[in-house]
Chains A and B, each alone.
Chain A
């Protein structure tokens, strides 16, 4: 009996509270006219960024494609004449992408990044398959100073072994001098 009265009281309190919400503001954002604020780290449309020197960051290591839980990234590696690696093609199927950001976390070069843009509806599904030229942007995205080839040991034209940041000169294994 007591439990019953208690539950009745609780229902009445609920009704009172809900009635009180007559005068609270609604939380709705009137979307097309009124845009919500999206933080820079919001996970939306994916871009491929360039390093501060204006070269493609992606080294086509395939880590993003492996990390992707839905397997919607496809790419193939090629090597430039100057020793840089690049993607021959880079394809993201956005009709499958779940905007999870795993690719961004896996990428060693900060090349692949998610942006706060989500308005990418299409009438045809095939239009959601983005090629490299659609993905590539001109800027460095969220990481302004990072340049993969300046910190990695890979030898490219204009940068020998040992010339990267914090990299020691290679040891001459044939020399007896300390």
Chain B
């Protein structure tokens, strides 16, 4: 792709991602409604879709208030960090054979780095709010993300081993015979849970846990700054879904339909699955979350890593 095309693609990607995140707030509420025997938003426009615009207007019209006790510059900048980090994460997602902003040979590591950066947003937001609920939310998110990061990375090493590359398009190509979801079921399982924790969505939304922490790290946020946090969260969800599609579900590969359609179809199904998780699974206690991470997920990941390594070695005939 020449320069101009890349720029156009980036603009389209940013606009598309933000638009999709906005539509997803509506879509998620509708789906939650269906699964919980309610209707969900259905008043404005067909199926209530204009609610997205109404929400946007409301958030724009809100008083942009900064608490006098807050740490001003950090408070203002914190919400942007998560959006920027998640947006950067999209740069390495291969939507179709040639449709990727940048094909890095360490694409996977770049993605992991960007999701780790997103934690700063939550942490600094909580810290700068100068409010005990926000601080507790920030603290929690730091602990949660740091511990789930460990095996989020490790769970992908199996995929990397099998594909023999950190570059995402290469990983997708490696799945032309068999999806990694079948050869790496444990890796997929751990990655889904770690991805949930990483994008701190229900059931792992302990940083905001409204029943105990009012709204956690964004207690003091309102209006557009709050919207930024939400945007970041939904972008994170989409990024994780894109990654699951790319790494485990064969990315753009599929018969008949054009590659990009396959990619979005798969991503859509994964997003639906995440919404279903939100509708069905209750939030664990904080200590349960931590012990689940270190006592269950980490061993599973390590076992998976060892098995994959052994099998890969055996297949390549490297074993004596």
Spell out A's residues near B (CB within 8 Å). 4, 11, 14-15, 17-19, 21-22, 24-28, 30
Contact of A27 among B38, B276, B280, B296 (CB under 8 A): B38
Name B's interface SS: helix
The reply to whether B38 and A4 form a contact with Cβ atoms under 8 Å apart is no
The residue in chain B whose Cβ has the minimal distance to the Cβ of A24 is B37
Which chain B residues lie closer than 8 Å to A17 at the CB level?
280
Contact of A28 among B39, B277, B279, B281 (CB under 8 A): B39
State A30–B42 Cα separation when bound (angstroms).
10
Contact of B281 among A4, A15, A25, A30 (CB under 8 A): A15
Which chain B residues lie closer than 8 Å to A14 at the CB level?
280-281
Q: List 7 A-B pairs, minimum CB-CB distance, nearest first.
A: A18-B280, A28-B39, A15-B280, A14-B280, A27-B37, A26-B37, A18-B35
State A137–B175 Cα separation when bound (angstroms).
78
The residue in chain B whose Cβ has the minimal distance to the Cβ of A11 is B281
B292 to chain A, nearest CB (A): 9
Q: Can you list 23 pairs linking A and B with CB atoms under 8 Å apart?
A: A11-B281, A14-B280, A14-B281, A15-B281, A17-B280, A18-B35, A18-B276, A18-B279, A18-B280, A19-B276, A19-B280, A21-B35, A21-B36, A21-B37, A25-B37, A26-B33, A26-B34, A26-B38, A26-B39, A28-B37, A28-B38, A28-B39, A30-B39
A21 to chain B, nearest CB (A): 5
Name A's interface SS: helix
State A24–B34 Cα separation when bound (angstroms).
8
State A19–B273 Cα separation when bound (angstroms).
10
The residue in chain A whose Cβ has the minimal distance to the Cβ of B32 is A18
Given A4-B296, A21-B34: A15 and B39 within 8 A (CB)? no
The reply to whether A19 and B35 form a contact with Cβ atoms under 8 Å apart is yes
Which chain B residues lie closer than 8 Å to A30 at the CB level?
39
New contact pairs (10) apart from A24-B37, A25-B37, A26-B37, CB-CB < 8 Å: A17-B280, A18-B276, A18-B280, A19-B35, A19-B280, A21-B34, A21-B36, A26-B33, A26-B39, A28-B37
State A25–B37 Cα separation when bound (angstroms).
6
- Within 83-134 of B, Cβ neighbours of A (below 8 Å) are at none
The residue in chain B whose Cβ has the minimal distance to the Cβ of A19 is B276
Which chain A residues lie closer than 8 Å to B296 at the CB level?
4
What is the 8 Å Cβ interface bit string for chain B, positions 6-49, against chain A (1 contact, 0 not)?
A: 00000000000000000000000000011111110000000000
A27 to chain B, nearest CB (A): 5
A123 to chain B, nearest CB (A): 21
B29 to chain A, nearest CB (A): 13
